[in-house]
Amino acid sequence: MKARFWRYLDFMFPKVRRVSAAITFLVSLVLALLMINADDLYRFRDSVDGVNLPKVDAIVVLAGGRGRIAAAGDLWYRYWRESQEDLSSSVSIPSKPPILYVSGMGPSSTWPVFERQVHRGILPVLDHDSVILETESTNTIENALVLARFVREKNWKKILLITSSYHMKRSQFVLDRVMRQQGFNLQVETLTLYHDPFDPDEWFKSIVGIEVTLVEYLKWLFTQWFWAR
């Protein structure tokens, strides 16, 4: 009986090894193809150059990525400084800083949680009336759907969207489709945040960069398929 069992293993092992090798080859091939095409995520040109800021109703930052909220807070502060310069220069209609809208903060997020994610230097002038902390949405599509409610309520016509480099293309695509479905003619300016290792020329040089980019690229493919149905 034991001899028969070992003969069976000797017979099956080459087959298992061949199947395993075939699976490994196919997985490697798929990953290689994904890596070759994942650069598509970074083929996105912002409408804002980071120096000249357009007049917008709101700065919309999608929470979830490192440094996004802090960068959005710094950007809001630049708008606030411009509004103060307008006041001091006797401009007939001084500019007003846009609302800082933080999307997808999470259900347990509060003002103190938000304060810990922005630079302390802006807190003295950043009050509750200047910020909307949206805590309902949990993914990019929900980000857009909840934002649509505020667009309707606040009658926003133009926003500045901020998110990470790997996330911007899908975010802008989803936001555009959702706003069209909701019947809004919302103009969306974009300003991408670049954080190592998610630079277009650097993401494939680290395990984290590869992992995040490939996962996001699969989401991008699914999103295109979903909206094309």
pLDDT for 120-138, tens place per residue? Answer: 999 999 999 999 999 999 9
Q: Does a structural domain hold residue 102? A: yes
Whether pTM exceeds 0.75: yes
Does residue 207 belong to any structural domain of this protein? no
Q: Which residue type occupies 172?
A: Q
Query: What confidence score (pLDDT) does residue 27 get?
Result: 46
What are the phi and psi torsion angles at 96 (to 5°)? -120, 130
Residue 22 lies in a domain: no
For residue 203, tell me if it sits in a domain. no
**Average per-residue pLDDT for the chain:** 85
Give the residue carrying structure tokens 């980019």.
213
**CATH code, 158:** 3.40.50
114 within a domain of the structure (yes/no): yes
Residue 131 belongs to domain spanning: 44-195
* Helices and strands (H and E) in the chain: how many: 6, 5
From 175, 155, 221, 195, select the one nearest 64 (Cα to Cα). 195
In a domain, 23, yes or no: no
More confident position, 87 or 160: 160
> Is residue 93 in some structural domain?
yes
Instruction: State the helix-helix crossing angle for 207-228 and 165-182, rounded to 10 degrees.
Output: 20
Q: Check residue 29 and give its pLDDT.
A: 44
- For the chain, what is the domain count? 1
| Lookup: tokens for 106 | 């999470």
* pLDDT grade for 11, boundaries at 50, 70 and 90: low
Q: Is residue 60 part of a domain?
A: yes
Q: At residue 169, does pLDDT exceed 70?
A: yes
